[in-house]
């Protein structure tokens, strides 16, 4: 093979594995290799290393990962000065950060949200961004200096030997909003009665251009979290003792703990995959303020991670407490959200509504329209009997046309007509929501009988 990456507990063990590089001078001397530069770039595209704006580097002396934020001449004015970028320049800067593990996911997701706004507005590639997006751009760019001071240990728990990882737990936090969703995985371990927490990896995605409801976005976040738990578990040789997935969505928990076949295909397919990767017992409800993945969807103080902050180490979270002090779990009831519609066949033919009620947004307008419809039916009967037609208010042209055929009387809508219209709307609602009861009542007009459960 060309390259090999691994870790070891002792220099002797590493000497047997190391192929090209190591952070230990003792191993390098054993391999008879000269000391190399302190900072080593980690770049998947060696041909364009000179053109890369931002990148992740490994400080072999401190054994930490750092991010460099050096800008070459073409892009510097857009970041260090107030020059307004185009859509092409903005995309180039935002997507230039090499972050395969999602260590900077809270920061990068907001840049991608900005790119999505530019895409939604059909902005040309070489057109400067508008004032509103430019304000968001400057707000995002001002956070870039904080990245250069970020130091992330390569090892999860420092120099702790792997034989102490007996109580290792995997915690995955998920969160979603209208703008995006994401998840973050953490290792929690107890070493010498001291709790240590470390970020393993994170993933974040912007919301699709086509609007989706919040419950569906939360289901997407849960699926992403289940996939991450599966990935972390299968790609670590560490003995993971317990696994948990934390979400603040009660709707998603209700879907996971119920019969997913009862829901629509969008929900059923995703819940089925979630259950194939995790167990219902792995899922826990967590309050929004305790959700470590909340910074992936909300702008806040954790948007730019700190070396010893909440994002990388879960500081001030319930993970540092005993399990009995974790957020209490509540009883999650089944939800009618996204239930699959069941087809019911009835022997009674129910007439369709004369108007499309869905086209009205105000009750008063709907009620008056139905009352006018009743007036029209009444006028048809009055005309057959030779009585004058009652109109609410007619134009001069309409009055001339009506006077040619029959007499006309201007009569405002009566209270009785409004009451009849309201009763008609109630009957329509009852017919739509209680079809079985309607069938029973129509079939047994003499002795109508309804069950006690109706």
What letter would DSSP give residue 263?
A: B
CB atoms within 10 A of CB 276: 9
Nearest residue to 156 via CA among 183, 202, 203, 189: 189
Question: Whole-structure pTM over 0.85, yes or no?
Answer: no
Q: Where are the domains of the chain?
A: 1-27, 357-443
What letter would DSSP give residue 128?
A: B
CA–CA dist 199, 309 (Å, integer): 11
pLDDT per position in the chain (454 positions), as tens? 344 456 667 777 776 666 445 556 665 565 555 555 555 555 544 443 433 445 678 887 888 888 877 777 788 888 888 889 999 999 888 888 778 889 989 999 999 999 998 888 888 899 899 899 999 999 988 888 888 888 888 888 877 777 777 789 999 999 999 999 999 999 999 888 889 999 999 999 999 888 889 999 999 999 999 999 999 999 988 889 999 999 999 999 999 998 877 888 899 999 999 999 999 999 999 999 999 999 898 887 777 788 788 898 888 899 999 999 999 988 887 888 888 765 444 455 555 667 778 788 889 889 988 888 888 888 888 888 888 888 787 667 766 666 655 677 778 888 899 999 899 888 888 887 787 777 777 777 666 677 777 7
CA–CA dist 452, 248 (Å, integer): 38
CA separation (Å) from 342 to 26, 261, 263, 451?
Answer: 70, 12, 10, 21
CA–CA dist 259, 146 (Å, integer): 47
Which alpha helices (DSSP H) does 31-152 contain, by range? Answer: 76-80, 87-94, 105-120, 131-141, 145-148
Sign, CA dihedral 31-32-37-42, equals negative
Order across the sheet with 39-42: list the strands: 39-42, 55-59, 64-68, 151-153
């Amino acid at each position: 093979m060309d390259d090999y990456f691994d870790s070891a507990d002792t220099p002797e063990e590493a000497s047997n594995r190391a192929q090209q590089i190591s952070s230990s001078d003792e191993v390098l001397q054993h391999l008879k290799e000269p000391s190399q530069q302190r900072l080593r770039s980690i770049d998947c595209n060696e041909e364009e290393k000179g053109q890369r704006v931002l990148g992740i580097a490994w400080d072999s002396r401190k054994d930490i990962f750092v991010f460099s934020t050096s800008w070459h001449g073409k892009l510097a004015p857009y970041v260090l000065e107030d020059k307004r970028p185009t859509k092409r320049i903005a995309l180039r800067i935002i997507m230039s950060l090499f972050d395969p593990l999602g260590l900077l996911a809270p920061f990068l997701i907001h840049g991608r949200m900005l790119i999505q706004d530019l895409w939604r507005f059909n902005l040309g590639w070489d057109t400067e961004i508008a004032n509103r997006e430019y304000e968001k751009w400057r707000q995002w760019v001002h956070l870039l200096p904080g990245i250069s001071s970020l130091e992330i240990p390569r090892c999860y728990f420092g120099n702790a030997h792997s034989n102490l990882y007996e109580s290792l737990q995997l915690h995955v936090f998920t969160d979603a909003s209208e703008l995006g969703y994401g998840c973050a995985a953490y290792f929690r371990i107890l070493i010498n009665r001291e709790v240590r927490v470390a970020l393993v990896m994170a993933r974040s995605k912007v919301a699709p251009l086509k609007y989706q409801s919040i419950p569906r976005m939360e289901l997407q976040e849960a699926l992403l979290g289940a996939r991450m738990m599966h990935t972390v578990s299968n790609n670590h040789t560490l003995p993971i003792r317990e696994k948990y997935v934390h979400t603040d969505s009660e709707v998603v928990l209700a879907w996971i703990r119920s019969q997913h076949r009862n829901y629509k295909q969008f929900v059923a397919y995703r819940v089925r995959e979630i259950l194939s990767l995790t167990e219902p017992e792995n899922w826990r409800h967590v309050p929004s303020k305790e959700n470590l993945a909340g910074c992936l969807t909300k702008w806040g103080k954790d948007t730019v991670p700190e070396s010893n902050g909440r994002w990388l180490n879960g500081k001030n979270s319930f993970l540092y407490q005993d399990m009995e002090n974790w957020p209490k779990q509540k009883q999650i009831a089944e939800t009618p959200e996204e239930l699959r519609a069941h087809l019911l066949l009835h022997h009674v033919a129910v007439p369709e509504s004369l108007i499309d009620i869905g086209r009205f947004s105000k009750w008063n307008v709907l009620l008056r329209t139905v009352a006018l419809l009743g007036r029209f039916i009444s006028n048809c009967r009055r005309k057959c009997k030779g009585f004058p037609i009652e109109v609410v208010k007619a134009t001069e042209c309409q009055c001339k046309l009506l006077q040619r055929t029959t007499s006309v009387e201007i009569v405002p809508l009566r209270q009785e007509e409004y009451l009849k219209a309201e009763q008609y709307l109630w009957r329509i609602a009852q017919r739509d929501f209680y079809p079985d009861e309607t069938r029973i009542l129509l079939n047994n007009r003499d002795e109508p009988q309804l069950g006690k459960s109706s």
